[in-house]
Structure 1
């Protein structure tokens, strides 16, 4: 399929139908990782033409993604990042941790947005925010795509720094996600303070299974990433 650049169609629609002046696109990264925080970026863009090649961060090479993030940080009108730590994820469950990270990002913006576009089909943010969910918003909405790239590059760099003190786990390349190096290090050395201890990967590690914390029932953790393309509504 040919590349289709994201547009401001949803942002314009929200402004026209609700009178919202400031619309923030929000996307997260790190939900499926075993280590490191979940990170959310909130980005506000002007309605001008976005940088060339902007799309979902997962569709970009690391080199292109890093270069684009540098451009985007200057191009967006404003942006902010929020995190929920591994311990907060263990204590709250992923949905509540996402809400916490997103709230931190939105409240860190210089101006409070009038409306929020969330990537995906689940509104994990809720009141008091005015939210529209957009499936594959990181490919179709300029503000969400920008948030996607900025969040991914920021979190990857954050987790890569953990390799300085935990060099065996491959954090500099796997960003805390499962990989052969990561799995081997866990089997030999066990989880670090940066790992999520309520996650099921510990069940497969006989030496470290006793460290697992009670897990939360969380519908979002079971959500398929293969979404199909419909807009949510306010």
Structure 2
């Protein structure tokens, strides 16, 4: 499928209108999964020509993503990853967990950004960061696309490691997202220590429903995820 490659137009605009010298792109992966962490990458790319084929990680094959991520590691000016665990997601809610993971990524950068480009329409990061939200930024902004690829490849590798520990769930194939194999394993074996126990899919597991955790603070309207809405098993 043909697609328009990302550009530096938003990065250039932020430099011109705000005086920002260091602009970072942020993207997350794993928000809609039932198991595993949510992972955020912060990437600083400057204004150099990006590697050929760079785009939203979801538009790339696993092989292409992996190859591109290896190239991006040496191409980006700086990047860092942050994670929030399933326990943190259950305890804080997804919005706060995303903020925590993004803050960890930003704090791990060797430079402090003057402006942040955040993929999507909701600013889950907030102050003290100067944030510009961009819908489908992972397709249109070079720095966000780079963050998307690096985050996706890293989290997939983490889930493959968990898959070796919990072979019936095939995390190496589904990355913790709902799939027929994942659902069947949940019905038979119940959740692993890596599952998000506050989510509504737990209501569809009568044998294991007693393990569900209840959050006292609901997610803000518009920030819910598919995993929180539940599925029929």
* TM bucket normalised to smaller: over 0.9
TM-score scaled by length of structure 2: 0.94
The CA distance in 1 between the partners of 2:91 and 2:28, in whole Å, is 19
Residue aligning to 1:210: 210
The CA distance in 2 between the partners of 1:207 and 1:180, in whole Å, is 18
The equivalences for 1:99-114 within 5 A come to 99-114=99-114
TM-score scaled by length of structure 1: 0.93
Residue aligning to 2:6: 6
Q: Does 1:200 align with 2:200?
A: yes
Residue aligning to 1:183: 183
Moved beyond 4 Å, runs of 4+: none
Q: Does 1:72 align with 2:94?
A: no
Residue aligning to 1:169: 169
State the number of aligned residues.
224
CA offset at residue 86 of structure 1? 0.1
The CA distance in 1 between the partners of 2:110 and 2:126, in whole Å, is 21
List runs of 5+ in structure 1 lacking aligned partners: 225-234
The CA distance in 1 between the partners of 2:225 and 2:22, in whole Å, is 29
The CA distance in 2 between the partners of 1:119 and 1:87, in whole Å, is 24
Is 2:29–2:152's contact at 8 Å kept on the other side of the alignment?
A: yes
CA offset at residue 220 of structure 1? 4.6
Is 1:30–1:39's contact at 8 Å kept on the other side of the alignment?
A: yes
CA offset at residue 221 of structure 1? 3.8
Query: Relative to structure 1, is the Cα distance of residues 69 and 220 closer, same or farther in structure 2, using a 3 angstrom cutoff?
Result: farther
Pairwise CA RMSD: 1.2
SS in structure 1 opposite 2:40? Answer: strand
Q: Does 1:54 align with 2:54?
A: yes
Q: Deviations over 1:187-234 (max 9, x none)?
A: 00000110000011110011001100114421354379xxxxxxxxxx
